Chains A and B, each alone.
Chain A
Amino acid sequence: MSGNRKKHTNTVQVGSLLKWVVAAFFIMVVGLSYVYLSNQMHTRGNEISKLEKELSDIKVLNQEEEAKIAQLSSRAVLQRRLNEGFIKMVPITDDRIVRINTPARAPGDEIRAVVNGGMEK
């Protein structure tokens, strides 16, 4: 075997390989994380959107109920229901009222006229 013949060997450069593997892994993790986070953001965005709509619907429903309550408890409606006999209220009869004094009666006699038509026409 001649002396200038070199021995050809292919050594695996573990350090370099590891460096590339780590870099690739890192890029892969970053990439996957990006995809994952983007997906998460979209999913959460959808959820937010849905919840916002739900909240808005509930607010509208609440307003509608409030409007109904206001209408049903209004004096006009209560009076109508009272007249219809739906709300059973017993009127107080005169014999149950103790009057402190006799109320004023309508005029009878001795009426006196005063009017601001004092000008001679």
Chain B
Amino acid sequence: MMAKAKVRMLLACFGLSVFFTIFSYRLIYLQVLKHDEYTALAAEKHLEKTTIYSNRGEIRDVNGEVVAANQPIKTVIADGTVITNPGALADLMAAPLEMDRAKLLEMLSTGKPYIVIKKQVPESVANDLASKMNGKTLRGVYFEQDSSRIYPNGTMLCHVLGFVDHTHHGVRGIEKSMDNYLSGYDGFRYTEHDRTGKEIEFYRGQERPARAGCNVRLTVDLGLQNIVETELSAAVKQFRPASAIVILMKPQTGEILALANWPNYDLNAVGDYKEDDMKDRAIEDMVEPGSIFKIVTASAALNERAVRMDTMIFCENGHFNFAGKVLKDHHGYGDLSVMDILMKSSNIGAAKLAMLLGEQKFYDYIRSFGFGERTGIALPGEINGLVHPPHLWSKISISRIPMGQGVGVTPLQTVAAMSAVANGGHLMMPQIVHEITDEHNTAVASFPPVEIRQVMSAEVSKEMRDALKRVVSKEGTAVLAAVAGFTVAGKTGTAQIPIPGGVGYYDNKYVASFEGFMPADNPAFVALVMINDPKTGPEQYYGGLVAAPVFSRIAEKAARYLNLEPHPDDTNTNKMIYTNARD
């Protein structure tokens, strides 16, 4: 009897041992071996990574005026899994969101957990909607914070600013080139929620705050930009050109004070414009500069001491037969001094100056002035231009390049070159960004002036300035560039437009330009006005007639804006009653 009981007890003990062993094994399996997997699954149920969105930095002009900012907006999201009354929600939301009720109802009834109902909803509409839903205790619709980029000035400075895409990254202009600074980065927060979806703050996990993007302060002065754009717009109305460019630069530092292109586009309605309208022709387009380029030829010859300002050059009475081709001046000149060559814009004189230098030396100077390479301005899409080395030149190149034919330059390169003439011979890198600051206005990066190289001596620079003053005189080609009370120096250009494919030039299409600086002896700015294919009367398409007056109006207004002191004796056109302004 006792033995049987003992066996039964042993069996029971054994059974229990096996039973508990199995349980223990299962427990160890779940708690130890599968720990990570089930922890992750549990976390997935309750843990949520919330993104803390960062704000894109603002863009401001040199005086702090906002030119690109952010407008908070909301994205309306629906969670179909918790919506109990889609009909009531559709009734409530259709009108404020300006959506069709039937379509809205269809979206709300899908039962999906994440339904994007509408993007770019104004804050006021979203807040109003939220309070109405709370009042009626409707669940399942929430709002995600977002922002849209706004450009308060519309078309103003559009080519410099550029715009952003739907991911808030820059596509053109400063928005693109400074994207790394402007973007900032999003933060995150791990949170746990209870069954109703309410956050349990007690279990709040790892958190990284968002870092707002830096603010970019440009060198551009909106006051000057406004003057430039107003005058450019008037010129476009008058001449109906294919395109037009005005650039204002501070020659001592290379800071761009204003930069305007036509055609332009509205930054707040980018989709309404063609790609071509968005092209920043100041850096993305290559033009034959025409007579403006003679400043390079003359500066090079003077700097190499191949000539002096008063050296006389025989200008072949207007017809120069060179390498089997005839180079002409529009008036026949005999002997002209170097100063007169600039003043009267003699093509033959310029060609002979380059010949005195020789092909290689002349080419070296062209490159030294920055042609054929990017200026390095902080804008995307800048091109090099096209300057062939001498071994690729034709026989007549040495007679054509000195007057700005057969080279491709960007308008900005010509402004940098003229600045070197204006500032004592220093080629400065054009700057468009003045400073970058963080959200607390602490400077993160600054952009001091960068001198690329000295391209001519200070003496030659002064001689050139004196010669260019004469260009804006009654004997010169740019008398209409004169500004009362100030001495203006500059150079006109009227370049034929090449036919695409390299088969010569159009007979009736020209690029009329004037590039000058003021006051001539201590310039506050260098300005380029370039009008591409102006529609004028016959023989009225010259830089001196089309671009020079635009320069004059811009310079006069800019002088007032910059508070430059006028001096009655400093007027190129003082007591002048007639003009001869064709180049």
Contacts and interface: CB of A to CB of B under 8 A. Distances in A.
Interface stretch (A7-15, A28-36, A98-106): A98-106
B328 A104 contact: no
Interface in A51-83: 56, 60-61, 63-64, 66-67, 70-71, 73-77
A110 B152 contact: no
Contacts of A84: none
Interface in B266-312: 288, 290-291
B222 A119 contact: no
Interface size class of A (residues with CB under 8 A): 35 or more
Given A63-B147, A71-B150, A112 B484 contact: no
Contacts of A101: 484-485, 566, 568, 571, 574
A77 B152 contact: yes
A52 to B, nearest CB: 9
B419 interface: no
Interface in B532-583: 539, 542, 545, 549, 552, 556, 566, 568, 571, 573-574, 576, 578-583
Contacts of A106: 480, 549, 579
Contact of A116 (B153, B347, B484, B576): B347
Contacts of B405: 116, 118-119
A85 interface: no
A113 interface: yes
Interface string B432-443: 000000000000
Nearest to A42: B202
Contacts of B578: 107-110
B94 interface: no
B542 A103 contact: no
A105 to B, nearest CB: 8
A117 B72 contact: no
B552 A104 contact: yes
Nearest to B506: A117
A49 B191 CA distance: 11
B404 A116 contact: yes
Given A70-B69, A104-B484, A121-B504, A116 B580 contact: no
A104 B504 contact: no
A54 to B, nearest CB: 13
B226 interface: yes
- By secondary structure, the B interface counts as mixed
B70 A67 contact: yes
A112 B327 contact: no
A34 to B, nearest CB: 13
A114 interface: yes
B199 A49 contact: yes
A116 B126 CA distance: 62
Contacts of B155: 76
Interface stretch (B75-83, B369-377, B444-452, B493-501): B493-501
Interface string B206-229: 000000000000000010001000
Contacts of A117: 496, 505
Given A113-B330, A118-B347, A104 B573 contact: yes
A67 B583 CA distance: 47
A94 interface: no
Nearest to A46: B201
B352 interface: no
A115 interface: yes
Interface in B326-349: 326-331, 344-348
Nearest to A73: B152
Contact of B403 (A74, A75, A116): A116
A113 B552 CA distance: 20
A116 B479 contact: no
Given A67-B150, A118-B348, A119-B396, 14 more contacts: A42-B200, A60-B123, A63-B71, A66-B69, A67-B69, A67-B72, A70-B66, A71-B150, A75-B153, A110-B580, A114-B331, A114-B347, A114-B477, A121-B504
Interface of A: 38, 41-42, 44-46, 48-49, 56, 60-61, 63-64, 66-67, 70-71, 73-77, 99-121
6 contacts: A67-B71, A100-B485, A101-B484, A111-B581, A114-B331, A118-B347
Closest 10 CB pairs of A and B: A45-B201, A74-B152, A120-B326, A114-B583, A101-B484, A118-B347, A70-B66, A107-B579, A114-B345, A67-B71
